[in-house]
Structure 1
Amino acid sequence: MIGLRIRRLREKKGYSISQLAMRAGISKSYLSQIERNLQVNPSLHLLSKLARTLDATLDDLIGVEHEDICNNEQLDRDWEVLIKRAIEKGMSKEDFKELSDYIRFKHLQINNSRSSGSKEDT
């Protein structure tokens, strides 16, 4: 869960909750709620602030493993065309990464909403 990952990264940096909240410019109580998984859908903006402050990436916070897409596999023709078009239109590697992070974040929000909803239904 995001809260546990944030807490571990915070402790690794040697920050208290108050110190991290102050450095990231967020509420101490909100950070505490995230770490205790009482708040499971923090905004991408807030997660970006925390990641920067913790010298981490959004992937580190949301727990996404990096996969080598070229690991013994060829990109199919559709992907090649999409990537070439994006580059031709000025999309950078950073833009791709940001878009990928955003998509992973939205999937995580959807999954968290589903799991929270199913808990409430029981």
Structure 2
Amino acid sequence: MIGKNIYEIRKRRGLSLTELADRAGIAKSNLSNIERNLNQNPSINVIEKIAVVLGVDLKTLLKVERNIEPKRTQLDEEWVDFVNELKELGVQKEQMQEYKTLLEFIKWQNEQDVNKESGKRSTN
């Protein structure tokens, strides 16, 4: 099931097996085994990597129905392009960990903004 979904989305994206495996950072043989349902229980980590490269969420890969929302796909493709650009610039995953605190602060700040907006609406 999941292998068929990956295969179909990969083909729609115009990616070869090698391209997807390389971009996801997994072995080509592992991806091939997943697509051919020889590996019917891949790790969630591997599936997440594949989903990011394909520009879809995990639910899309796990569903029987393969309805891909165009707006969501576009956003995901932009993130994939961004990550690929970072890789091309030589940024390593380990370096990205340095920014984790900053990202957590931005997330907290966004949550505060949402809470403020919710408070304003409830008092009006």
Once residues 42 and 5 of structure 2 are traced to their aligned partners in structure 1, the CA distance between those partners, rounded to angstroms, is 13
Counterpart amino acid of 1:44? Answer: I
Higher relative contact order, chain-length normalized (CA < 8 Å, sep 6+): 1
Identical-residue share of aligned pairs (%): 48
The residue that corresponds to 2:40 in the other structure is 40
Post-superposition CA distance 1:54-94 (Å, at most 9, x none): 000100111167xxxxxxxxxxxxxxxxxxxxxxxxxx8xx
Task: Tell me, in whole angstroms, the C-alpha distance in 1 between the residues paired with 2:49 and 2:8.
Answer: 16
Query: Which residue number corresponds to residue 6 of structure 2?
Result: 6
TM-score (norm 1): 0.52
Q: TM-score, normalised by structure 2?
A: 0.51
Provide, for residues 27-51 of structure 1, a one-character-per-residue CA deviation record: whole Å limited to 9, x for no partner: 0000000000000000111100000
Report the Cα distance in structure 1 between the residues aligned to 2:5 and 2:64, rounded to whole angstroms.
Answer: 11
For structure 2, the 5+ residue unaligned runs are 66-110, 112-124
Q: What is the DSSP-based 3-state SS (H/G/I as helix, E as strand, rest coil) of the residue aligned with 1:50?
A: helix
Amino acid at match of 1:17: L
Contiguous gaps of at least 5 residues in structure 1: 66-91, 93-122
Structure showing the higher helix proportion among its residues: 2
Q: Give the distance between the partners of 2:12 and 2:23, measured in 1 at CA.
A: 15
The equivalent of 1:16 in structure 2 is: 16
2: distance between equivalents of 1:2 and 1:14?
18
- RMSD, aligned α-carbons: 1.5
Deviations 1:82-119 (A, max 9, x none): xxxxxxxxxx8xxxxxxxxxxxxxxxxxxxxxxxxxxx
Q: Does 1:62 align with 2:62?
A: yes
